[in-house]
Chain A
């Protein structure tokens, strides 16, 4: 059983490493991620939001719904921990 697990892990890892050959280079300006919306954010973020840090403006303004969902997920995790772990007594 252990050997089949090892073979499966090695096979999956090999496939993943083979897949990285098709990924764009690190910081490649011609990659799809830096061609679609990134230039607009880089050019307009200070003009539109007066925030010098692009990460903050994308996180909190352009992608505000995502951050709202993230905050709700953390809140839900806290409530779930209270309901599961906390001991209620009299």
Chain B
């Protein structure tokens, strides 16, 4: 476990989490959430939990982003608040 790499990845995770809440456009929010999943996957892999990282990469960054985008296509792209 390299603490410098850990710190950088945690900073990116925080930035992505805050950005995906703050952004008004829901499509951008879904894409940023995919990036958040990708950084979480890197963090898992860095901590040695390779199976969890694999699941996070395939489910979190892959399929769930597609589901979000399709749901946005069905509803609306602008958030109400």
Please report the number of residue pairs spanning A and B whose Cβ atoms sit closer than 8 angstroms: 5
At the interface, is chain A mostly helix, strand, loop or mixed? loop
**A26 cross-chain contacts in B, Cβ below 8 A:** 1, 47
Query: In the complex, which residue of chain A has the Cβ closest to the Cβ of B51?
Result: A55
Closest 5 CB pairs of A and B: A55-B51, A26-B1, A26-B47, A27-B1, A27-B48
Interface residue ranges, A against B (CB under 8 Å):
26-27, 55
Interface size class of B (residues with CB under 8 A): under 10
Q: Mark B39-81, 1 if CB is under 8 A from A, else 0.
A: 0000000011001000000000000000000000000000000
Docked CA distance A26–B1 (Å): 9
